[in-house]
């Protein structure tokens, strides 16, 4: 498999917007459709993949580099989660000490050095990226998770501006916004106006649902712990829209 054939997607959004929940459920949806998916958490909190790993935190790439040094292997940093999703957490510095972006890049370099993509041959790699760490060059397609709240849309606009700058250099394209609803008044209308100003589109509407919290309380996604879930349909729709964007 040529690694150039791998679909690389980045999901951005401000902290607390539900980005990791959205990403994990998207990964699960794609895996259920038969795709080999790798999800890479790019946040020092290292909690992107826990809903794919039964609620457990996995060791991060940076932690394992520090612990194992030259003896580090892929098995130390890549873990198989729900649906066979390959889970990786880049990790990062202690808050207030060092640059999160630099930590993420170090983790990516280690994955490249160990030939992670050549070994596991994923069809799709999804990077779950902390909103204020816009590192270019690793993902071609970018989606932003936002609600209709002002600060969330403000962050989405900033991220979109950064992505446009990367786009001018020939990589990274903003594909659209995933509306993760907070049930504020006139939310869909507010977001519709915002995406028009940003120059993008709403890719999928994700309604606020207690089903998501119910699944997370049990340590997983709606695909693992719920049957006949409305939210499974929503995340399947999101997966289909993203696949159609290829």
- The residues annotated as belonging to the active site are 14, 19, 45, 132
Nearest-Å Rg of the Cα atoms of the chain is 17
Strands in 86-89's sheet, in edge-to-edge order, are: 79-80, 86-89, 37-42, 124-129, 7-12, 141-146, 173-180, 202-206
Q: How far is CA 100 from CA 50, 132, 156, in A?
A: 20, 10, 19
187, 18 Cβ separation under 8 angstroms: no
Detail the DSSP E strand segments found in 43-107. Answer: 79-80, 86-89
32, 223 Cβ separation under 8 angstroms: yes
């Amino acid at each position: 498999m040529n690694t150039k054939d791998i679909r690389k997607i980045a999901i951005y959004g401000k902290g607390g917007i539900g980005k990791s929940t959205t990403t994990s459920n998207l990964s699960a949806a794609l895996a259920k459709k038969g795709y080999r998916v790798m999800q890479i958490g790019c946040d020092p909190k290292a909690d992107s993949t826990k809903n794919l790993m039964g609620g457990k935190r996995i060791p991060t790439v940076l932690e394992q580099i520090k612990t194992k040094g030259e003896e580090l292997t892929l098995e130390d940093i890549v873990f198989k989660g729900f649906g066979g999703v390959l889970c990786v957490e880049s990790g990062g510095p202690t808050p207030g000490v060092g640059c999160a972006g630099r930590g993420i890049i170090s983790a990516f370099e280690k994955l490249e050095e160990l030939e992670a993509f050549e070994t596991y041959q994923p069809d799709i790699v999804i990077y779950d990226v902390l909103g204020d760490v816009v590192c270019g060059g690793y993902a071609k397609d970018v989606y932003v998770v936002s609600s209709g709240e002002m600060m969330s849309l403000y962050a989405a606009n900033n991220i979109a501006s950064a992505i446009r700058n990367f786009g001018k250099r020939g990589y990274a394209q903003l594909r659209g916004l995933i509306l993760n609803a907070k049930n504020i008044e006139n939310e869909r209308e507010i977001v519709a106006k915002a995406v028009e100003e940003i120059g993008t589109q709403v890719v999928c509407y994700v309604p606020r649902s207690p089903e998501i919290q119910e699944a997370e309380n049990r340590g997983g996604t709606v695909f693992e712990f719920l049957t006949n879930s409305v939210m499974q349909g929503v995340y399947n729709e999101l997966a289909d829209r993203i696949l159609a964007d290829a």
